[in-house]
């Protein structure tokens, strides 16, 4: 098993990509802590891991609240005795009107959710990892950081900041044998799109995902398992000589989709 005897804290692990990572890591022998505000879904993931013989806990946490983050990190270390892996997965798109109409609150809320939260968790996890001279930190960015697919300037700016944050932190922590890398997912079939699909039928939702897939060189949207596989690589010692990198896991983006064959 790639993560035998390891422990991981995954923010936003109750559903979507975070859930996929939690299940994948647990299958590889890792003890999992899920930090989320959606406790019903988080406990369902814990139950699934437990049924398969794994170890998992759920901790309710508002990732934009520094005291709650500090308490969460402390609780996880107390429970597991150590913390080997941090996945800053939680985030999401917030209200993003045109910049001339955007309020300060709308700007700040996107950066708090998608970037400041990563700072908070690293602030309290890093001292523990430094003391042990071992750690894996994975920060979730987005392909939108380098190829914005739509006008969400506050979200895309925050995700671009995650890339810079990752590179700087990786450089600072390299002497302590702590690897810090970022994942840049493309369009993935998750609850990220709930705000766009709330009024759609199942058929309409599927049509939307098929359309999004045509914008991707591999001609499909991603699934949570696609992101989980890349995260597993970064969390394991297979990536021991890799740090400070921003890894696109986006079906080939930012390459352009192949042109259709010419008519016969």
Q: Which residues are catalytic?
A: 155
3-class DSSP assignment, residue 141: coil
- DSSP label at 94? -
Distances (CA, A) of 210 to 200, 213, 246, 257: 14, 5, 27, 14
DSSP 110-163: HHIIIIIHHHHHHHHHHHHHHHHT-EEEEEE--GGGTS--SS-HHHHHHHHHHH
Determine contact, residues 155/114, Cβ cutoff 8 Å. Answer: yes
Taking Cα atoms as reference points, which of 150, 174, 85, 92 lies closest to residue 122? 85
């Amino acid at each position: 098993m790639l993560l035998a005897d390891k422990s991981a804290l995954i923010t936003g692990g109750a559903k979507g990509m975070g859930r996929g990572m939690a299940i994948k890591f647990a299958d590889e022998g890792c003890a999992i802590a899920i930090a989320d505000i959606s406790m019903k879904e988080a406990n369902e993931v814990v139950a699934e891991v437990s049924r398969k013989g794994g170890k998992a806990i759920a901790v309710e946490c508002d990732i934009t609240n520094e005291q709650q983050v500090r308490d969460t990190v402390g609780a996880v270390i107390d429970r597991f005795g150590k913390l080997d892996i941090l996945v800053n997965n939680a985030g999401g798109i917030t209200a993003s009107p045109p910049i001339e109409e955007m309020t300060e609150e709308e700007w700040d809320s996107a950066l708090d959710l998608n970037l400041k939260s990563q700072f908070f968790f690293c602030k309290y996890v890093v001292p523990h990892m430094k003391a042990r001279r071992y750690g894996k930190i994975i920060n979730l960015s987005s392909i939108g950081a380098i190829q914005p697919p739509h006008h969400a300037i506050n979200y895309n700016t925050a995700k671009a900041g995650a890339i810079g944050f990752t590179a700087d932190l990786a450089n600072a922590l390299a002497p302590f044998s702590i690897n810090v890398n970022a994942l840049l997912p493309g369009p993935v079939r998750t609850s990220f799109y709930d705000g766009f699909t709330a009024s759609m039928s199942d058929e309409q939702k599927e049509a939307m995902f098929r359309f999004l897939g045509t914008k991707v060189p591999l001609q499909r949207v991603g699934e949570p398992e696609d992101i989980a596989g890349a995260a597993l690589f970064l969390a394991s010692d297979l990536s021991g000589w890799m740090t400070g990198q921003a890894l696109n896991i986006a079906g080939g983006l930012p390459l352009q989709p192949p042109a259709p064959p010419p008519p016969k």
